[in-house]
Amino acid sequence: MTTTTSEKQAAWEPAEVKAELLARYPAKVARKRSRQILINEALENATPEITANVRTTPGIITMRGCTYAGCKGVVLGPSRDIVNITHGPIGCGFYSWLTRRNQTDAGPDGENYMPYCFSTDMQESDIIFGGEKKLTAAIQEAYDLFHPKAIAVFATCPVGLIGDDIHTVAKKMKEKFGDCNVFAFSCEGYKGVSQSAGHHIANNQLFRHIVGENDTPKEGEFKINLLGEYNIGGDGFEIDRILRKCGITCLATYSGNSTYDQFASSHQADLNAVMCHRSINYVADMLETRFGIPWVKVNFIGAHATAKSLRKIARYFGDRKLIDRVEEVIAGEMPEVEKVMAEVRPRTEGRTAMLFVGGSRAHHYQELFAEMGMKTIAAGYEFAHRDDYEGRRVLPDLEVDADSRNIEEIRVEPDPDRYRPRKSEKELRKLAESGLPFKEYEGMIPDMDRNTLVIDDLNQYEAEKLVELMRPDIFCAGIKEKYSIQKLGVPMKQLHSYDSGGPYAGFRGAVNFYREIDRLVNSRVWSYMKAPWQINPQLSATYQWE
């Protein structure tokens, strides 16, 4: 039997769904989870409050990753000419080796260490007697083999537990080499409640050890940095193509397809365009404080969002030639996008989606689904903070608990020689008043419809329950969720790695996405999927002695 979308939607009430999700938990866990499961309501001038960035209750199978993953895997991982050494047991390095599908172009210099997995491969004896000697030897070996510009060292859990002083080792090696920047990250997996802590640690050290190192002037009329774009499935290549076409120079991308020199020169840009707010907002703020570069939030996921972001950048520079060029590019790209949009829409209109991804995509991808006429009925982040849900206006009210205090906040002052406000206070205010806000992110909740569900740190049990109760037409999350959801007869799209697809950013990416989602939600294969318990809900068994 097939159910129509309207029947499906009539079948659930958000309050009932929430009650069902909580029903099986012990009282204390249910109380905590209930603050992370929110029924979206349209409030006058406020956003409903959600609990986020808190520890996952032990025993719950979370979708989250660890702090090391956020630092090494997410932020530093995509830079091609830095040798990233994982100091720890081999599993940590192995499982963070090229699994994120962040693509790279080795560039004219060909310097590219991405295909390698560097690890100190700690053994029991290193845990007992200390791993510093092994780390020193590994740094030396990497230097001798490759002579890279930089070597980065990442701490895993055991390193923090035994107290290896990775920073002193790094410093000594840097001094010894003289022509290679060596620095370390205290990003032990357990350091924070999720990978989000790793982002912060990575931001701090990037800023401390690389940003501002290269003052050789960079060419370009309209110079920006693109922050929080990681070139998954080639997203960054598509964005670069569009920016180039518009005549905008991207000095540095943090950190898709990036190089050491990009970070080192990024203080020369005149605007920071922040795509993934969660992972990189710290660098954006620090670049502003030290060098005077303002930042705006952008989103290149969705064709309309892409057009809007390009217009934002053009308006910031306020140059007639650039504004016109951007309009020409949009006008040139949109017809193909609209053609495919119109083609799929009769088949996708009114369909429903659920998105549970990381710290920004669960919001950004709602744009693409909306362009296809699809409605997001439930969404949430794995590790975002309240500001990513409710908007940056809640920043002053964020609770600083012991876990967040554990992550260093670095104090940044204006650079005595290089601080240069790109616009005067008056100009910034004028732009803001005319609809170009700076340092602002409205978050996911205000963009979602009333009575949709917003759920923080969704877990394995709740994901399956949610799908059973609400039967979305598509569920988006990561590899850990993929097969359990598909076994329930619902197509599942990975929005971390994109399965084997992409790019989905920009104009061409939107076209790719429409086509793929159309195929997924309209494939009949899912209706044939029957799990054993759907055919035989009760498995009968008898005791042997009976």
Q: Which residues are near ligand CFM by CB under 6 A?
A: 70, 74, 100, 195, 228, 230, 232, 276, 278-279, 357-361, 496
CA distances from 452 to 27, 217, 249, 377 (A): 24, 49, 40, 5
CB of 194 to ligand CFM, least distance (A): 9
Output 270 or 457, the one with its CB closest to ligand CFM.
457
Q: Long-range contacts made by residues 2-5, C-beta under 8 angstroms, separation at least 24? A: 2/527, 3/471, 5/350, 5/351, 5/352, 5/473
User: Is 496 assigned a catalytic role?
Assistant: no
Q: Smaller CB distance to ligand CFM: residue 139 or 276?
A: 276
Give least dist CB 109 to ligand CFM, A. Answer: 25
Active site residue 69: yes
User: Which of residues 294 and 380 has its CB atom nearest to ligand CFM in the complex?
Assistant: 380
CA–CA separation, 81 vs 260, rounded Å?
6
In 10 A of CB 84, how many CB atoms? 28
Q: Which of 52, 66, 477, 510 is catalytic?
A: 66
* Closer CB to ligand CFM, 33 or 385, in the complex: 385
Cα 31 from Cα 26, distance rounded (Å): 9
- CB nearer ligand CFM, residue 230 or residue 369: 230
Catalytic residue, chosen from 64, 199, 363, 392, is: 199
Amino acid type, 448: M
337-344 contacts, C-beta under 8 A, 24 or more apart? 337/303, 337/507, 337/510, 337/511, 340/510, 340/511, 340/514, 340/515, 341/303, 341/371, 341/372, 341/510, 341/514, 343/514, 344/372, 344/514, 344/515, 344/517, 344/518
Q: Are 65 and 457 in contact (CB under 8 A)?
A: no
In this complex, which beta carbon is closest to ligand CFM, that of residue 95 or of residue 129? Answer: 95
User: What single letter denotes the amino acid at residue 344?
Assistant: V
End-to-end CA separation in angstroms for the chain: 39
Q: Tell me the residue number closest to ligand CFM, measured at CB.
A: 358
Q: Catalytic one among 33, 64, 87, 100?
A: 100
Residue numbers annotated as active site: 66, 69, 100, 199
